[in-house]
Amino acid sequence: MAGTETHHILPRPVFEAPVKLLIVVAPYYKDIADALLAGARAEIGAAGGDCETVEVPGALEVPTAIAIADRRSNFDGYVALGCVIRGETTHYETVCNDSSRALALMGLQGLCIGNGILTVENRDQAVVRADPEGQNKGGGAAAAALHLIALSRKWGGPRKGVGFKPPSDSLLIAGRGEGSGTA
């Protein structure tokens, strides 16, 4: 049973400049989401960070909210929180796989995301994992985001975009053939 194993936990990172995280939580199972949120906020606070929280309807919307925030805000990292409990249909697999895949893809693009979306067989498993005094998976997700932020700052430099770069103004002017008689 996972609850009886011992795990190595990395020391909390130390930051020279403040960190700001966005916690995106799907409160479909409100009591579980609240416990995850308490653990995440405590971990961010213990690292001297600041956080904002937004709620979305379900686990599938968590990655979309993070993507929107990354395009339009200035967060250093993100914490994804929620809970998916297996039901009688394949919807469980869809929600688990698609939300996890989207978060992983954004992480591969350079976002610092801690994934605290629980994927469990039953409510009892979720309660144990969410409990800040127990397995504290919300705190673990926040710690993961903080560690990724620390790595990002360690290796520094601006983030590199993926895909095509827009042409610069100088290329546009040169491309028009100014003074060459072409229009």
Q: Which residues are catalytic?
A: 91
H helices, E strands: number in the chain? 6, 4
Q: 147 and 14 in contact (C-beta within 8 Å)?
A: no
Buried/exposed 75-86: b ≥16 CB within 10 Å, e otherwise: bbbbbbbbbbbe
Q: Which of 51, 25, 49 is nearest to 37 (CA)?
A: 25
* Sequential DSSP letters for 51-107: EEEEE-SSTTHHHHHHHHHHHHS--SEEEEEEEEE--SSTHHHHHHHHHHHHHHHHH
Token pair, residue 106, equals 């954004």
Q: Which of 105, 57, 56, 103 is nearest to 78 (CA)?
A: 103
Token pair, residue 132, equals 């800040």
